[in-house]
Amino acid sequence: MKNIWIIDPYSEKPKPGWRDGRYYLIGKTLSEHGYNVHLFISNFSHLKKETDTNLEEIQVNSNFRIVIVPTIGYKKHISFERIRYEKLFAKNIAKNKQNIPLPSFVIIKEPAIFMFGNLKPLIKVSKAKVIIDIMDLWPELFELKLPVKLRWLGKFIFYPFYYKRKNIIKFASAITAVAPDYLEMGLKINNKVPNKVIYWGCDTASINSLVNSQNDYLLSELNLPSKNNDIWGIYAGTLGESYDIPTLIKAAKIMEDEFPELKFLIAGAGPLEEMVSDCASANKNVFFLGSLPTSQLYQLFKFCDFGFSTYTDASPVSMPIKCYDYLAAGLPLVNSLKRNLGTLIEEHQLGYQYDASDYNSLVNTLKKLMKDKESLVLKKERCKSIGVEFDDHVQYSKFVGLLDELTA
């Protein structure tokens, strides 16, 4: 039996009612195809910023175990503490105190520049083939933190990080990525290995089941009014600086007078939570729901008419997780991203584009949506049709084919 190690310091323990993570789903899929899988996660929650003292291994099934690796915590996303967190995480994996059978394959989440140095000796000893899974364009994300006038210096300032990433990708036996342009970046460095785009995806059957489920008390539980003939748009995700939340808030305030029947539902958590909460208190068309369990969010989709995919103009995001949920639920997107998602929306008429960070552009887009309800209905049907292409089972089964290719 082939042993597979999957390494990600940011995966969370599986939790009923919440979305299963990418690497949990990859591990589950591979274990069901006869591979012996260990998923290594840390004992510190990136979402909650809490340390878990329970290091007991989680047995998912007979072929799949989750190993909890001790490391330190951190408070700020960009900090030396976070770098130390990743390094210690990788160092403790390499020690292999649990005497886990050495891997034939290692799947590593990229970015991995602070982990790879401590993992590389073990990989060489085990003679494992390495699949680099490109999840984010980083250090490109770091460049966003520079003042706009200095961003042209980003490639020079972060050159050491780019150099390390280049060496990691060159070491890979195969490359996967969550979006085509992410894969393109990897292939510019190493185009001689097997490669696949494997989207985040979602469980379309579960989403459809929850969207169609009967919950007469959901709206009252969430302190929402009756739907009536209103149009509801939902933002579900992180409330952070890269997500164009100020533009969304400004547009909501402007739309309140001309189109009071348009309601803005905002679900999530993050640094801009207070801004959203204040807006909801001051404006009758904005409702802040906080962070919702995935199952409850999907039930709420039943009442929604479209979903917001709002990102700043400098964001390197290409295919965000929320887009798959929206498509599966039949929610057209009001989207600022260009890249792969923008192309998909335009080619298949799955929603509406606006110019990132431009609230006037968003307002004009929403007015267009409100004045053409028939078009909105047609877009809903197209979203449902294409959503099945991004089903979890369709996407993660690609890993089985990739490993077969590496084994041949």
pLDDT, one tens digit per residue, over 137-185 is 887 777 767 777 777 777 788 888 899 999 999 999 999 999 999 999 9
Q: Give every CB contact of residue 285 below 8 A, 6+ residues apart in sequence.
A: 252, 255, 256, 260, 262, 263, 264
The CATH topology of domain 204-388 is: Rossmann fold (3.40.50)
Domain ranges of the chain: 3-201+391-407, 204-388
pLDDT, one tens digit per residue, over 277-308 is 999 999 999 999 999 999 999 999 999 999 99
DSSP for 55-112 reads: -PPEEEETTEEEEEE-----SSSSSHHHHHHHHHHHHHHHH-TT-PPPPSEEEEEE--
Mean per-residue pLDDT, 182-205: 95
pLDDT, one tens digit per residue, over 43-79 is 999 888 899 999 999 999 999 999 999 999 998 877 8
Question: Given a cut of 80, is residue 233 above it in pLDDT?
Answer: yes
Question: Given a cut of 90, is residue 117 above it in pLDDT?
Answer: yes
395, 199 Cβ separation under 8 angstroms: yes
Tell me, what's the pLDDT at 47? 80
What pTM did the predictor assign? 0.89
Question: Given a cut of 70, is residue 406 above it in pLDDT?
Answer: yes
Mean per-residue pLDDT over the chain, rounded: 93
Question: Given a cut of 80, is residue 37 above it in pLDDT?
Answer: yes
Q: What are phi and psi of 61, to 5 degrees?
A: -150, -175
Around Cβ 238, how many Cβ atoms within 10 Å? Answer: 18
Mean per-residue pLDDT, 92-104: 94
pLDDT, one tens digit per residue, over 257-278 is 999 999 999 999 989 999 999 9
Q: Which own/partner contact pairs does 12-16 have at CB distance under 8 Å and 24+ positions apart? A: 12/41, 12/45, 12/46, 12/47, 13/41, 13/52, 13/58, 13/66, 13/68, 14/58, 14/60, 14/66
Q: At what angle do helices 116-126 and 80-95 cross, to 10 degrees?
A: 20
Around Cβ 196, how many Cβ atoms within 10 Å? Answer: 16
pLDDT, one tens digit per residue, over 6-36 is 999 999 999 887 889 999 999 999 999 999 9
Band the pLDDT of 315: cuts 50, 70, 90. Answer: confident
Question: Given a cut of 70, is residue 1 above it in pLDDT?
Answer: no
Is 204-388 the same fold as 3-201+391-407? yes
Q: At what angle do helices 22-32 and 392-407 cross, to 10 degrees?
A: 60
Task: Measure the CA–CA gap between 232 and 42, rounded to whole angstroms.
Answer: 38
**Percent of the chain clearing pLDDT 90 (strictly above):** 83
Tell me, what's the pLDDT at 19? 84
Tell me, what's the pLDDT at 303? 96
In the block, tokens 């979890």 appear at 392
Instruction: Mention the CATH class of domain 3-201+391-407.
Output: alpha beta
